[in-house]
Structures are given as structure tokens and as C-alpha cells.
Chains A and B, each alone.
Chain A
């Protein structure tokens, strides 16, 4: 009976002991990410779409912290995945950067180089976090705001005209992408960038009328304009 009572009081006492809530601790990481309805999971960069001739340029790639903030800056090191066709220090340069103290995101400045091969090719650079990086590769997944962490980010680099990232937002006005269509648009408007976020959503409709009139004049003089897919260019 005595032992039973002691045992009972012991359990009774232990039951009052405050226990810590167990939490998971892992190494802080860094991840590429896309915003829902906004950024694509790959980036197209063309030297042909820059307002001036450039031998090198910087492409900003958004990355965000997966883990806790720190009062100290932490190194981020990226590498090219094996399946990349772009060549280090010929087509691109990857520098190590810091995630600044107390920051949760950073734009990684990828340096792209205008190599002769880009006149005829689109080179693919598949970026991932280097295993030796102080901030390791962050876990992939979808956040509550539908933004998504990615383990890799593909950058297509060329000096040819390629489909701009924003084309999906203007296709309902200007039609499906083709190099022929895009060249015609550039020639008629004098613009290189038709991103509604840059020129304004109202402006894309004004330019549509300009292009429609221009293609009518072109057809009158030359006949239909046929693109590389065999489709007639219309606006």
C-alpha cells in the first residue's frame, strides 16, 4: 500500500512537470522560387532584346531563405547542373554572394556573357545550390500564397530573338509567339519590351491597332506575312 501511494504521488508530481515542445532543427537553406501567376520557372534572356549592344549583362534571379534569419550575412554558392549546355566563364559567370543579415530574400546576380555561339544557339544554364554553400539547398514546396520553391532554375541565354517571359500575358492581344511576328512588332513600334508591367496594360491595346494597320499595309505591298511555323501573322 505504501509503495502504491508513493508511486501514485510520484506520478502525480511528474504529471505537473512542464515539458518543452519538441521542434525540428535543420540547416538553413536557400531556394529559387516563383510567385503564383507571376514569375515563370525558367528565365529567357536574349542579348537581342536589350536596348543597346552588350557583351555581358546581369540577370537577377530571386531566391529566398528556407529557415531562420541570422544577424550575420551567409554565403550563397550556386553551380550549373550537369545537363546545362552553357559554359562557365564563356557563357556565364557564377559569383558567390551573401544573403545579407536579417534578410529573407535576395536577387542573385547571374552574369551572362554574349558568346559567339549564341548567335545561332540558345544555351541552357540549369542553376542549383552548390553542396558547399553555407546556405544549403532549401526544401522545395508550395507556400500558402501559392509561391513555389524550386530546387533548380533554368536560364535560357541567347543573342537570338526568343519568346520573352511575359509573352503569355500578351498572347491574347498579339497572338502566338513566333520570331517573325516578334521582329515585325519590334520594327513597327520601335520597342523591344512589350511587357504590360513595363509599358502599361492600356498601351498594349494601342499598339495592337498600330500593328494591325501596319500588317494591312504590309500585306497590301508584299502579300501575307508568314512566320517560321507557316502561320499568317495577324494582329
Chain B
């Protein structure tokens, strides 16, 4: 009996043990899923507020086998504060107004097709470059009938007269002093500053919508004014009638109030020299020296000079009469300066970063002593200078100049610029009495004016105060 019981126990134990060793036959049922292939162009470009239509071709491995849901989600390529991904459609085909602003780097548009049967999703990524109607071109500040105006000439020469007035339904009274294009939102977008003798305004460069104001304790002075951001993009500087004013824009204020005059014994030439990332330079025509303001503090200090460099930044013994932007990078830049000694002789200086480069007396150059507007070639060792109605090309290596264009008498050249993006267009703003024109000259490979005349002339502006290039986002 005892043995039987023992056998039963042993049997039960072995049976339980064997059961735990039972092999799972892993008998799953497999079914091939319906695989999707989405065909459509991947890189798209569209103007802001235009309708984007995409009819993707969806190929199924098992045609007609399933039902799907759809989602179109758009988000920036770079992180932009305050922007969260947006679902712009849940339809199979996209037919949506793209209202997101133009941004550097553009957007990703994610198309997601999800099977309602098994939840498996297929994705297609698009790159969408949103451009503005005012994508790239020249902003023109001018005055007409007692009002300050802001106009825009797009790179395809389409003209928008006073878009800021139209968009904002506002008349900006007073006389235009200047307009400037500057980076905002970490450089992903651009803003336009507009200074007049009756008020100062800030606009989005995408649509000319007024975004704020600039408050100054002074009245901007005609032809003695300039504005620029530091290279690090955290400070704004304004020079007005020789005095420097600043504003920190660390927290991206919509309205910017400038400081009082930064103290010091100086009278600055109206040029902000952002040749280095953390030091912004200025030129003091009173004491004939460069000065600088460092990042993070609004102190003006004399630039460290050395007599062993091309020129002594701490003591040039020259007046600055002109300044030009050379090639620029995000952290440094080259600048050219036209200097004048006590005998009225003019010199060409250059500064690369914080390093003096060129110091050359300008020879064989007609009317250089009365030239008032200058532009450096961005491609060649050349400079352009303008008198009242003549434009000369100065060859730095040959140290001589040639006349390349003469406007009719009565035309007064206000500003000349080489288009920063390509270096192949010379842009001239000129006034004839109270009306302004902008001329575009194509430059050939030698820096000469193609066909000896302008390629485009656009008029209809009031008296032009200045022009500024608005690059593409």
C-alpha cells in the first residue's frame, strides 16, 4: 500500500514536472499586411498663404484590401520657439492654405497613412520651402508729400509700392531717415526697421505687418544715422549724429527702447562695424580712432592699436568718409573704409575681423575727393564710388579708377550697393528733385557694367533716404 502511494506521488510529481516542460508549438497565424508605397515629389516650394495641393499616389501591395486614415503634419526644420507641429489636413489629398511663415531651413511635411485594420502606418516626408511674396529684393525708404514710405523691389523687379502702409492701413507721417533689414528669432526670420523723424517702426520682412516700435530719446537725423545688429545678434546699435545708442534684445522684445547716449568722448561715423562676433567696432571721427563695445556690456572702449599693423586702430590721424561691407560670415566680416587725411587725400583701409588689412592711398581716381557713396565688389579687388551723378570703378590692385556711368545732370546719387547675395548687380538709388529711382546694373566678370547701361530702372518713389537688401529666408 505504502509503495502504491509512493508511486502515485512520484507519478504526480513527474507528471507536473513534465507538464512544465511541454513545448509550446508557437502556432501563430501570419498574414501578409497590405504594404503601401506613397509616390509624390519630395521637395516643394510655395509662397506663404498660397494653397498647397498634393495628390499622392498610394500603391498598395493588396489593392483595395483596407481602409485608411490620413494625416498631414507640418513642422520647422529647425526648432523655433513657440512653434508646435500643426496638423493641416486629415484628407487623403492635401488642399490647404500654407499660413506658416517663411523660415530658414524650411519645413518638414509629414504625410501619414494609417491602416484602420491593424494600425500600421506608412509615412512620406516632404520638404516644403515657404517663401514670402516679399522673398528677396530691396527695401526702399523714401518721403513723399509729408509721409515716410517703405517700398519693395523684388529680385524679379516686381515693385510693391508702400506695402507697409497697405498691410497695416497706416500712414507713417514724417520724413524717412532709413530702413534696415535684420535677423530675428535666432536668424530664422528677418525683420525690417524703419526710422523716420516722427517715429520708428518694426515690421516682419515676410509680410510688412508691423510688429512693434523702436523708441528713441532722440530724433533720427537725416544722413547721420545708421542701425545694425551685432554679429552675435543680441544687441542693436544706432548711431545718430555721432552718438551711439544701444538696446539689448536678449529676450526678443517686440518694442525696443534704446539707451541714452552711451557716454564717452567721441563722434562716430555712421557705420556699425560687425567684423567680429563679440566685439562691435565704431569709428570716432573726433579722436580719429576705432572704438569697440564688447558683448554683454554697453561700454565704449578705444580699440587696441599697434603701429606695426597696416594702420594703427588706436590712432589713424584720418577722418572716415565712407564705409563698405565686404564679404561677411556668421562670425566675422571684412569691411572697407575710405579715409581722408588733413590734406584732403583719400586712402582705402580694410579691416578683417579685428585685424587691419589694407592701407592704400587712392591714386589716379577722378573726383575721388568729392565721392560720397561707396560699395565694394564682393568678388573682385574693386570698389565703386559715386559723386553726385557719376559712378567710377576703382581697381585696388592697379590703384586707378575709370568712369563707368554718368547720370543726367539733376540726378543725385544717394546710395550705391553691390547686391550681397550674388555680387553681380550694382544697385543705385538716386533722386531727381523729390522723386526717387532705383537702377540695377548687371556686372560682368571683370566688374564692368554690362552693355554700359542699367538693366532695369524703377521709379515712382518719393525722395529716397536709403535702400537695404532683404535676402531670402
Contacts and interface: CB of A to CB of B under 8 A. Distances in A.
Interface stretch (A108-116, A131-139, A209-217): A209-217
A205 interface: yes
B246 A209 contact: yes
B6 A212 contact: no
Nearest to B9: A5
B260 to A, nearest CB: 5
B13 A5 contact: yes
Interface stretch (B51-59, B248-256, B428-436): B248-256
A210 B251 contact: no
A202 B248 contact: yes
Interface string B65-96: 00000000000000000000000000000000
A213 B217 CA distance: 14
B248 A201 contact: yes
B260 A205 contact: no
Given A2-B5, A9-B13, A200-B251, A208 B260 contact: no
A209 B259 contact: yes
A2 B263 CA distance: 103
A10 interface: no
B439 interface: no
Contacts of B253: 200, 202
Contact of B6 (A2, A203, A204, A213): A2
Given A9-B13, A201-B248, A206 B263 contact: no
Given A1-B6, A5-B13, A202 B261 contact: no
Contacts of B259: 205-206, 209-210
A13 to B, nearest CB: 10
B16 to A, nearest CB: 8
Interface string B263-289: 100000000000000000000000000
Nearest to A207: B259
A213 B9 CA distance: 101
Contact of B263 (A8, A203, A212): A212
Task: Count chain A CB atoms within 10 A of each CB in B247, B256, B261 and give the residue with the most.
Answer: B247
B298 interface: yes
Given A209-B259, A209-B260, A202 B13 contact: no
A209 B262 contact: yes
B201 interface: no
Nearest to A205: B248
Contacts of B2: 2
Contacts of B258: 206
B312 interface: no
B9 A201 contact: no
A209 B5 contact: no
Contacts of B147: none
Contacts of B5: 2
Q: Is the interface of A mostly helix, strand, loop or mixed?
A: helix
B248 A206 contact: yes
A203 B248 CA distance: 7
Given A1-B6, A5-B13, A213-B261, A202 B250 contact: yes
Interface in B306-334: none
Given A1-B6, A2-B5, A5-B13, A213 B263 contact: yes
Contact of A205 (B6, B9, B13, B298): B298
Contact of A206 (B6, B10, B251, B257): B257
Interface string A194-235: 000000111111101110110010000000000000000000
B300 to A, nearest CB: 11
Interface in A2-29: 2, 5, 8-9
A206 B247 contact: yes
Contact of B249 (A1, A202, A210, A212): A202
Nearest to B234: A202
B361 to A, nearest CB: 39
A154 B72 CA distance: 54
A212 B263 CA distance: 8
B9 A209 contact: no
A24 to B, nearest CB: 36
Given A200-B251, A201-B250, A206-B248, A213 B260 contact: yes
Contacts of B263: 209, 212-213, 216
Contact of B251 (A9, A201, A208): A201
Given A9-B13, A201-B248, A202-B251, A209 B6 contact: no
Contacts of B262: 209
A206 B258 CA distance: 7
Contacts of B297: 205, 208
B247 A202 contact: yes
B416 to A, nearest CB: 35
Given A201-B250, A202-B248, A202-B250, A209 B13 contact: no
A201 B253 CA distance: 10
A203 B255 CA distance: 11
Contacts of B249: 202
16 contacts: A5-B10, A8-B13, A200-B251, A201-B250, A201-B251, A202-B250, A202-B251, A204-B248, A206-B247, A206-B248, A208-B298, A209-B259, A209-B298, A210-B260, A212-B263, A213-B261
Interface of A: 1-2, 5, 8-9, 200-206, 208-210, 212-213, 216
Given A5-B13, A200-B253, 17 more contacts: A2-B6, A2-B9, A5-B9, A201-B250, A202-B249, A202-B250, A202-B256, A205-B247, A205-B259, A205-B298, A206-B247, A206-B248, A208-B298, A209-B263, A209-B298, A210-B260, A213-B260
